[in-house]
Structure 1
Amino acid sequence: MSRSTSVGGGESGELLHRLVGGDGGAALDALLDGFGQRHPEVSMRDVADENLSLEVKSRILKESPPDVWIEWPGKNLQPYDDAAVLGDVTSVWEDTDMERYYLDGPRNAAKFDGVYRAVPLNIHRINNLFYDVEQAEALGVDPAAIDSPRAFAEELQRIDAETDQTGMLFPMKNPWTVLQMWETVLLGEHGHDTYRRVTDDAAAAHRRAIVDALDIVGQYAEVATEDRLYTSLTDANERFVDGESVFFHQGDWAAGAYTESPEFDYGTDWDHVPFPGTDGLYAMNMDAVIAASVTDDSEAVSTFLSYVGSADGQRRFNQKKGSIPPRTDVDTSAFTPFLQEQQSAFQQSASQPLSITHGLGVRPDQLIELKTAMSTFVSSWDSEAVADDVVAALDRSA
């Protein structure tokens, strides 16, 4: 699927992305509309391609890269940086107020060796634990009082043993949901320092933590529904809305289905807390706009990146996307109450860990191997053997 539209006039640039339809398409349209109003002198042609990464790589090899594209930042961009094909956008950061209003997590995800290579556009929180308010109250469960992933496993086991309720739906049809659960458990049970060292080529030194997190994930699986291996994220999310479980762990994008349900009200029917053990941490997935090192119109690129990093651009985009802005000064008064709370938690967070599952915390080749390891895990439940696979993936040189 592809589309091509343009906004603006004189100077020109090309934006490649995969945001078509749904909240992503609406968010991009809002961003481009705002850009066109602010900068009618610049023409920004947007081209959609569902095989974005492949298309970007192909065009770089053909020496005709897009001027800018939307992609995950962090270690996902490491191969591009190694190949010296990313533009230096440091001047965009330094000539605007962006450095002042971005927290360390998003800023670090945009930099390689002190040079800015990207402008983060939005943030999704990974470490949410959603819960059914009525069920939690009926069972005498205080989600905010569960202080660790291991304590959460014990609570799920109690619910399974003493009631007819499902403690937590756990979709495993796609290995990324299992990987996301594992990284969240690792973060909550062993802390941000261990999490960061595991992703920074020191996984072998923390193998016991890796095994322990896998064991806890296995405990969650033991009390999940029998069809867990065949359940997709979308199906599980819909079943949570229908009241099938007390808890559901997922990124904040899952809440889009909750806010669209007329009989599932925030604060009354559903609520959320940080996943046990991760209070004060804002584990992030994000999109960013990246510039190529070669462009026919550097002025158009700089103008567009400056708008992407502005409060106006991020307000427009994130309100439609169902995410929060990486800037801390954006007016979110028109956002949903849930997203306003997410923004407040982001601003108050002590650290903003980069997600493994969504490519910010690991390189693309490592992510493929980690997903493969999780596929092995759900078929064997052998924590020791899978830990060896995880260590091999994370400690292997690029």
Structure 2
Amino acid sequence: MRGKKLAALATASLLVLSGAACGSTTESGSADATTPASTPKAGGAGGTVGVFTWWADGSEKKGLDALEVMFKKQYPNDTFQNLAVAGGSGSNAKAKLASDLKNGNPPGSFQGHAGAELMDYIDADQVEPVDDIIKELGGESVFPKTLLDKLTVDGHIYSVPVDIHRANVVWSNTALLKKAGITSTPTDVAGWLADLQKVKDSGVATPLSIGGTWTQTELFESILASNLGADEYSKLFSKDGKWDSDGVKQSIEQYKKALTFANTASDGDDWPNATDMVADGKAAYNVMGDWAVAQFEMKGKTYKTDWDAFAMPGKENIFDFLADSFTLPAGTKNPGGTQDWLRFVGSKDAQTTFNKLKGSIPPRTDISSDGFSAYQRSAMKDFKSSDTKIVSSIAHGAAVPLAWSSEINTAMSKFYQDKNTDNLVSALVASHDKYAQ
């Protein structure tokens, strides 16, 4: 990584987020935690606030729409402008954002993933610190210290987190599993592959649904983390990472086997269709982040009755982590309005409403689980459990910066076509050697 250093990037020791880690107080966390950050300051700064995201479809759009309504009520002097760009888990949006930033036309605020993804913008001086906003919101008294560590570069925080997601979730259609005679959750990846075969033998044409390249990367990283465990997986993103190890090669072979049970996908296929295939009984399994919860609910499907979910099984209980956050771009035309937006998305009210709709869990620790879905309550419990090992997602920008993740996605896309394990290993090793420090 270039220039500035991101604290605790992709290291397991700093990723064990727990309730105990949330209770500490430092200088930045000793701000008045009772500050009503969601309360308008004289109606807001005024002017237009363009908010750039990739929340343009499904439950993500539903959550953003709810935020827009709340923001207009709480900051009536500000005018919200939805700049969402659809497709590719943000790949399309990130390409347009890069162009806008390069051309000196930043939005009011843009969505980014906590972790390595933000380094590209920080190194290019394209975002400003938001330390004062985090302090006003309550700092470490309401946000886990380890989460703030992941947002901290050279002593400064550059984004306000709005949600926590788990990427390595296997979603299933209960009726199709029953038809195949599957009555228990597998204990490892090999067992899951065996269940995929059972589903196929029962007459289901598509046991596993997938979308475009980024969903395939997410499937692969889920298998990889399950096989390697948290420490070895996290080490892949350090200077000593071994992308040509036996464990990586085994994971590639198992990933290749999983693809034999999947539908044919093109790069532009997004996640809602793949999730809908499970909800509609056209596929038995899909590996997706837990934003899928709201997608099932939007289709009127009931947890544990119509669908079920479990983390990709392996040697440890892995929580493949990502967090969406919002930034203060350098040179934005209305920084006061952007700061209003950041106060708002960091508030208790906004995070409660948004995460209930999106299927994620709040990063704030002062939000009750009451009113959240049964799945979300289980995710909250897992996230804080000492038995859970939390790692950073590749596909969603937490583990690696944008340039590295782009090369990994390119390698995954080629592998989808040629299924050549040696070529994929070589590409992954080359990317590591180019970017890891």
Same fold judged by TM-score > 0.5? yes
* Greater helix fraction, Structure 1 or Structure 2: 1
Does residue 74 (structure 1) correspond to residue 94 (structure 2)? The answer is no
**1:46 and 2:84 are equivalent in the alignment:** no
| Aligned twin of 2:377 | 340
Counting only pairs closer than 5 Å after superposition, residues 146-185 of structure 1 correspond to structure 2 as: 146-157=186-197, 160=200, 163-165=202-204, 168-171=207-210, 174-185=212-223
Matched, 1:320 2:357: yes
Moved more, 315-324 or 299-308: 299-308
After TM superposition, give the deviation of residue 108 of structure 1 in Å.
3.9
- 1:386 maps to 424
Q: 2:156 aligns with which of 115, 118, 128?
A: 115
Question: CA distance change for structure 1 residues 333 and 150 in 2, over 3 Å: closer, same or farther?
Answer: same
Q: Distance in 2 between matches of 1:344 and 1:128?
A: 15
Q: What stretches of structure 1 of length at least 5 have no aligned partner?
A: 1-6
Deviates more, 1:270-279 or 1:179-188: 270-279
Q: Quote the offset at 1:130 in angstroms.
A: 1.7
CA RMSD of aligned residues (A): 3.2
- Residue identity matched to 1:370: I
SS in 1 for 2:125: coil
Q: Is the 8 A contact 1:207 1:391 kept in 2?
A: no
In the alignment, structure 2 segments of 5+ residues that lack a partner are 1-41, 86-91
CA contact (8 A) 1:98 1:309 kept: no
Q: Which residue is 2:249 aligned to?
A: 211
Q: Does 1:17 align with 2:52?
A: yes
Residue 141 of structure 2 corresponds to 100
CA contact (8 A) 2:159 2:325 kept: yes
The aligned residue for residue 435 of structure 2 is: 397
**CA–CA distance in 2 between the matches of 1:33 and 1:238?**
27
Alpha-carbon distance in structure 1 between the residues aligned to 2:391 and 2:306: 29
User: 1:124, 1:284 within 8 Å by CA — same for their partners in 2?
Assistant: yes
Q: Which amino acid aligns with 2:344?
A: Y
The CA deviation at 1:128 is 1.0
Q: Which moved more, 1:129-138 or 1:367-376?
A: 129-138
Query: Once the 2 structures are TM-superposed, how far is the Cα of residue 289 of structure 1 from its aligned partner?
Result: 0.6
Displacement of 1:16 after TM fit? 2.8
Which residue does the alignment assign to 2:66?
Answer: 30
1:92 offset after TM fit, Å?
A: 2.3
Q: How many residues align?
A: 385
> 1:220 corresponds to which residue?
258
Amino acid aligned to 1:250: M
| Cα distance, 1:285–1:16 mapped onto 2, change above 3 Å | same
Q: 1:180 deviation in Å?
A: 1.1
Deviation by residue 1:302-360 (Cα, 9 ceiling, x = unmatched): 44323321211211222333332222322343333333333333333634322111222
Residues 10, 380 of structure 1: CA spacing in aligned structure 2 closer, same or farther, 3 A cutoff? closer
Amino acid at match of 1:48: L
Aligned residue number for residue 308 of structure 2: 271
Q: Distance in 2 between matches of 1:245 and 1:295?
A: 45
The 3-state SS of whatever aligns with 1:283 is strand
3-state SS in 2 of match to 1:65: coil
Note the 1:229-268 alignment, pairs <5 A: 229=265, 232=269, 233-262=271-300, 264-268=301-305
Whether 1:128 and 2:169 are equivalent positions in the alignment is yes
Match of 2:323 among 246, 261, 286: 286
Matched residues in 1 for 2:320 and 2:146: separation? 9
- The percentage of counterpart residues that share the same residue type is 23
Instruction: Note if contact 1:67-1:294 (Cα within 8 Å) is conserved in structure 2.
Output: no
Residue 362 to residue 290, structure 1, CA distance change in 2 (3 Å): same
SS at match of 1:273: strand
**Normalising to structure 1: TM-score of the pair?**
0.83
Contact 2:114 2:322 in 1 (8 A): no
Counterpart Cα distance in 2 of 1:159 and 1:66: 47
Give the Cα separation in 1 of the matches to 2:258 and 2:58.
32
* CA offset digits 1:230-281 (Å, max 9, x no partner): 695544433323334443322223333422334x422122111111127643
CA contact (8 A) 1:118 1:289 kept: yes
Given the two structures, how large is their TM-score scaled by the length of structure 2? 0.76
- Bigger shift: residues 294-303 or 359-368: 294-303
User: Amino acid of the residue matched to residue 64 of structure 2?
Assistant: L
| Range 210-219 or range 302-311, more displaced | 302-311
Contact 2:72 2:80 in 1 (8 A): no
Say whether the 8 Å CA contact 2:209–2:283 is kept in structure 1: no
Q: How many Å separate the matches in 2 of 1:156 and 1:321?
A: 28
- Aligned AA (2:233): Y
